Structure 1
Amino acid sequence: MSESSLETASGSSSASRGGPSSHRERRAHRIAIVSAGVGNPSTTTELARGIALKTSELLKEYGTDSDIALIELKNLSNDIAIASVSLQISPALQDALQTVQSSDAVIVASPVYKATYSGLFKSFWDIADADIVLGLPLAVVATGGSERHALVPDTAMRSLFAFMRALIVPTGVMAATGDWGSADLATHQDRVAAELAALVVADVHQNLLDSVGGKYTRTFKARVDDNADETDASEGLDFGSSLMHLAAGGSL
């Protein structure tokens, strides 16, 4: 990720994750923005940046510092296209993915094209690890030319990140052309920031992972056991079971 893609809030510093929240050293929290805006400047990026800055302001009121990492996908479009067809992840793209994974909250933002998020936006998440935002507080943000797209954050975007098991804040933000500068848009931005800040301060991400442990990821070891009755299901899938025979088209 280029230097222009990383923005640090005033008075903040970065730090790595620690152990359980009760024993974790005080550190700056990272807020990552992933924006698929293509303009220069991009209204999509600016909408997300406003939420991030307000979140950082609220975290400071809670007594904690924060930094903001801005990932503009337009600067990684070639890397994303190559990775989509060859699975070759460039250092810059890997850096962006790592930034998301090491964050405490994520704001995802996309312009709306034909009633959904952009292809560039979707391609980035397609190449990301399935658990990259697992349990992370996340806000969905979109921009479009018409109010007809008002439900995109709460339909298309929310369903994508529900699949990726993020903790999506209750409020989504959609800004149409006529919304800029309105009190309603500012209110929505402030509400999203408050929701994100509350989840970050509560450390729900790490507490959730600490509580659940390794139960999110299930790894199956394929094996066949001639004696299905003595198969230990915890060791892997039993392809010799009656259920597997049925699934393969056989009869019980």
Structure 2
Amino acid sequence: MEASLADSTQSQRGPSAATGGGKIHHIAIVSAGVGEPSTTTELARGIALKTGELLKNRGAHSEIALIELKNLSNDIAIASVTLQISPALQEALQTVQNSDAVIVASPVYKATYSGLFKSFWDIADSDIVLGLPLAVVATGGSERHALVPDTAMRSLFAFMRALIVPTGVMAATGDWGSSDLAAHQDRVAAELSALVMAHVHQNLLDSVGGKYTRTFKATFDDDADSKQSDVAADIDFDSSLMHLAAGGSL
């Protein structure tokens, strides 16, 4: 991947991206790990690399983009209170939106994902992962947190209407290097690669995309007048909600 996301991301070619032609499947990792190196990031990276390997075995190309939220923490905090999104943060969000699969990973604090992780998704568009194959990954110091991927994380991305793979991965301190953890990583990679190769994201949007309620954002720049006109064209001013907002009754 030629473009990099400033200091916030790293890009690397998947096992088959350097050979042959055809479509390249983009795999995005969004990690809220804060260590250096981060075990949270490494857990997700292992799944991404295995996914790329499985895609290669099926004759497909892949590239991996790593978004480390610790490098965007200031941008995320500012965006959370001012709604001003920096170029680096916008590029990270765009990378997620343009991906074919996403692996999201967070350390566990107080029995749930981190505040940094949640803040990133709070400022993202509600449809950013709509219909995208997505894997949920967490790390923690205790097995008491084993259900975090399947409770807290799965419910968040179900709300965002992602296609979450059946298997979630949680790695406690004692799990590293175990055959069980490696087997879980392999299973998630197999599920993720199967959804990518089935083109479920595009097929879903082609089939029912028009029935989704889309969000929109007004942008202001040199071409502001035309963009505001496009936004206005998408608003139904005759709806009951708009009548209510104008002081009328339902």
Does the pair score TM above 0.5? yes
Task: Report the Cα distance in structure 1 between the residues aligned to 2:204 and 2:178, rounded to whole angstroms.
Answer: 37
Q: How does 1:71-220 map to 2 (within 5 A)?
A: 71-217=67-213
* Contact 2:29–2:64 (Cα < 8 Å) also in 1: yes
Give, in angstroms, the shift of residue 143 of structure 1: 0.1
2:26 aligned with 1:39, yes or no? no
Q: Deviation per CA, 1:194-225, whole angstroms, max 9, x where unpaired? A: 000000000000000001132112666243xx
- Which residue in 1 is equivalent to 2:45? 49
- Which residue in 1 is equivalent to 2:236? 221
Structure 2: tracts of 5 or more residues without a match: 215-233
**4+ residue runs over 6 A deviation:** none
Give, in angstroms, the shift of residue 6 of structure 1: 2.2
Task: Report the Cα distance in structure 2 between the residues aligned to 1:4 and 1:88, rounded to whole angstroms.
Answer: 17
- Which residue in 1 is equivalent to 2:240? 237
What secondary structure does 1:8 align onto?
Answer: strand
Task: Report the Cα distance in structure 1 between the residues aligned to 2:191 and 2:16, rounded to whole angstroms.
Answer: 22
Task: Report the Cα distance in structure 2 between the residues aligned to 1:4 and 1:110, rounded to whole angstroms.
Answer: 16
Which structure is larger by alpha-carbon Rg, 1 or 2?
1
Identity of aligned residues (%): 79
Give, in angstroms, the shift of residue 11 of structure 1: 4.2
What secondary structure does 2:170 align onto?
Answer: strand
* Contact 2:31–2:69 (Cα < 8 Å) also in 1: yes
Structure 1: tracts of 5 or more residues without a match: 14-24, 224-235
Give the number of equivalent residue pairs. 220
TM-score normalized with structure 2 length? 0.84
Q: Deviation per CA, 1:12-63, whole angstroms, max 9, x where unpaired? A: 16xxxxxxxxxxx931100000000000000000000000000000000111
- Which residue in 2 is equivalent to 1:12? 17
Task: Report the Cα distance in structure 2 between the residues aligned to 1:96 and 1:157, rounded to whole angstroms.
Answer: 20
- Which residue in 2 is equivalent to 1:229? none
Give, in angstroms, the shift of residue 122 of structure 1: 0.1
TM-score normalized with structure 1 length? 0.83
One of 45, 51, 55 as aligned partner of 1:59: 55
Summarize the Cα distance change of 1:172–1:135 in structure 2 as closer, same or farther, 3 Å threshold: same
Q: C-alpha root-mean-square deviation of aligned residues, in Å?
A: 1.8
* Contact 1:52–1:107 (Cα < 8 Å) also in 2: yes
Summarize the Cα distance change of 1:3–1:73 in structure 2 as closer, same or farther, 3 Å threshold: closer
Q: What amino acid does structure 1 have at the position aligned with 2:100?
A: D
Q: What amino acid does structure 2 have at the position aligned with 1:56?
A: G
